[in-house]
């Protein structure tokens, strides 16, 4: 199993970055729960998130920027059976980061470029038998509508629709949406409890056909 967690740091210059408020707590809890359930797990963990306690079956590797994560996925995704993409990848990054530290001056305008959709790229090139679960962080009012649209666009097997209020909290009240159209909502619980529940639901994905490769 391959799990991603935490934010990306998109460099502005040699010192400053663009990032988000993800703590990586949900993804690290999933990786720990999967290892405790007997899976071999590789956790790709962003900065500056603390790693889960060492345990049998869990390997942790660090990434910094979206480029780092893209390279790590390209290297590790082909060999995994299940990808749980819980990392909070930036939507945009500076197009041309400065090599040194920019001086403090007046107004600074950044030219941003779109970050490729990393989970959609994995879905497009996956092989037979691989499953993918993505995460979608949305405002509560449009939680399931937007998450369902992203699930369909990315071509994944399931998506966790996660309310924005989850950021920085100990608990979660998320919905698991499936490509076949059904939904599961276990109710409010701690992130650790939700992680254990999600691992069980992800295992069940192998009882159903995978989403078809969009390129086929």
Q: Which positions are annotated as active-site residues?
A: 20
Which one, of 86, 42, 88, 83, lies nearest residue 65 by Cα?
88
In this structure, is the dihedral angle defined by the CA atoms of residues 36, 30, 168 and 8, taken in order, positive or negative?
positive
d(CA 39, CA 32): 10
d(CA 48, CA 21): 11
B/e letters for 63-89, b = 16+ CB within 10 Å, e = fewer, are bebbebbbebbeeebeebebbbbbbbb
């Amino acid at each position: 199993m391959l799990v991603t967690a935490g934010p990306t740091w998109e460099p502005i210059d040699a010192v400053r970055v663009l990032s988000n408020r993800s703590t990586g707590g949900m993804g690290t809890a999933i990786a720990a729960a999967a290892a405790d359930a007997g899976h071999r797990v590789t956790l790709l963990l962003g900065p500056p998130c603390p790693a889960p306690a060492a345990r049998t079956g869990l390997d942790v590797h660090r990434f910094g920027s979206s480029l780092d994560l893209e390279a790590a996925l390209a290297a590790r995704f082909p060999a995994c059976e299940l990808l749980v993409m819980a990392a909070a990848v930036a939507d945009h990054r500076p197009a041309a980061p400065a090599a040194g530290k920019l001086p403090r001056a007046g107004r600074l305008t950044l030219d941003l470029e779109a970050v490729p959709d990393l989970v959609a790229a994995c879905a497009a090139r996956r092989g037979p038998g691989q499953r993918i679960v993505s995460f979608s962080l949305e405002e509560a009012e449009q939680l399931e509508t937007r998450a369902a649209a992203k699930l369909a666009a990315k071509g994944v097997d399931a998506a966790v629709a996660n309310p924005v209020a989850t950021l920085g909290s100990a608990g979660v009240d998320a919905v698991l949406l499936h490509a076949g159209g059904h939904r599961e909502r276990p109710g409010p619980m701690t992130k650790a409890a939700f992680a254990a529940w999600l691992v069980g639901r992800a295992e069940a994905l192998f009882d159903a056909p995978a989403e078809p490769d969009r390129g086929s």
